[in-house]
């Protein structure tokens, strides 16, 4: 069985650029970098050359404009997605993360839901043609993202099903879903067909796995047992030196899931 792959997120090494992160990822035997603001690169082709030199690359980025709930900005969203897809082509990135935007006051949720599904349906052919996956991400509204429209994994799964494209899926962030709904293993495995990618951090504190209440040996083993062989991103802060934390993660968690 092919094993899951692990990525670091930009910012894991404070103040260091993407190339430094890629070199560290290679050093630790990990598999990729999540770099969210691709538009901050001065020269995408230069970054592509660095990826080739190092032997690991960026595996996920974000859309340039986030708002799926407001139908009036649909053209702006799709235009920004086109730009992001072109950046992904140059960089060899296969996953694009999008949030949904905040819930619109005074507008029924079902209308915002319909707007999101319609926008994503229009995005799907662009993603299919480019062979990239657009990933919607539920975020918790209790601690970090007050007012964010999409918070629950069941609603996210409904949206994915309504869009009906293998190129529009879900990034399941264990930290956010623990805060929003708990029941992590059941949801993280039950929605596996709709999930393209996972984010992990412990709770409370959003630091590296092993610092809070989540049992990541059990969680990651359950995900792996589904046959998932995609990326799991360490989207977390660190309570100790990053290199030490990564070694600890490999020794204390990854070594135990087999």
The pLDDT tens digits of the residues spanning 67-89 come to 999 999 999 999 999 999 999 99
Q: Which residue has the tokens 């796995």?
A: 209
Strands (E) in 63-159, as ranges, are: 95-98, 133-136
Residue 139 has pLDDT above 90, yes or no: yes
Q: What percent of the chain has pLDDT over 70?
A: 99
What pLDDT was estimated at residue 2?
Answer: 62
Distance CA 193, CA 191 (A): 6
For residues 35 and 245, what is the distance between their CA atoms, to the nearest angstrom?
20
Q: How far apart are CA 52 and CA 55, in angstroms?
A: 5
Which residues neighbour 215 within 8 Å (Cβ) at sequence distance 6 or greater? none
Average of per-residue pLDDT across 231-240:
98
| Residue partners of 158: CB distance under 8 A and separation at least 6 | none
Q: Reduce the DSSP state of residue 107 to 3 states and report it.
A: coil
Length of the chain: 258
258 falls in which pLDDT band (50, 70, 90)?
confident
CATH, range 5-257: 3.20.20.150
Nearest to 164 by CA among 133, 127, 121: 121
239 DSSP assignment: S
The answer on pLDDT for 213 being more than 90 is yes
Per residue in 177-211, pLDDT tens?
A: 999 999 999 999 999 999 999 999 999 999 999 99
Hunting for tokens 């229009």 — which residue is that? 122
């Amino acid at each position: 069985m092919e094993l899951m792959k692990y990525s670091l997120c930009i910012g894991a090494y404070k103040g260091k650029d993407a190339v430094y992160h890629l070199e560290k990822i290679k050093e630790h035997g990990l598999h990729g970098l999540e770099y969210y603001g691709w538009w901050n690169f001065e020269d995408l082709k230069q970054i592509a050359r660095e990826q080739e030199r190092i032997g690991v690359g960026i595996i996920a980025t974000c859309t340039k404009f986030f708002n799926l709930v407001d139908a009036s900005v649909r053209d702006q969203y799709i235009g920004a997605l086109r730009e992001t897809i072109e950046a992904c082509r140059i960089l060899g990135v296969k996953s694009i993360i999008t949030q949904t935007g905040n819930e619109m006051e005074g507008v029924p949720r079902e209308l915002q839901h319909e707007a999101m599904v319609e926008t994503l349906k229009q995005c799907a052919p662009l993603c299919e043609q480019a062979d990239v996956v657009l990933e919607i991400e539920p975020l918790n509204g209790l601690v970090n993202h007050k007012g964010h429209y999409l918070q629950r994994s069941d609603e996210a799964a409904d949206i994915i099903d309504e869009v009906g494209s293998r190129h529009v899926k879900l990034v399941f962030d264990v930290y956010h879903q623990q805060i929003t709904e708990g029941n992590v293993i059941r949801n993280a495995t039950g929605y596996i067909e709709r999930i393209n990618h996972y984010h992990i951090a412990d709770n409370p504190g959003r630091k590296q796995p092993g610092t809070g209440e989540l049992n990541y040996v059990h969680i990651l083993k359950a995900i792996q047992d589904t046959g998932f062989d995609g990326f799991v991103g360490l989207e977390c802060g660190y309570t100790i030196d990053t290199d030490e934390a990564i070694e600890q993660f490999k020794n204390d968690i990854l070594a135990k899931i087999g």
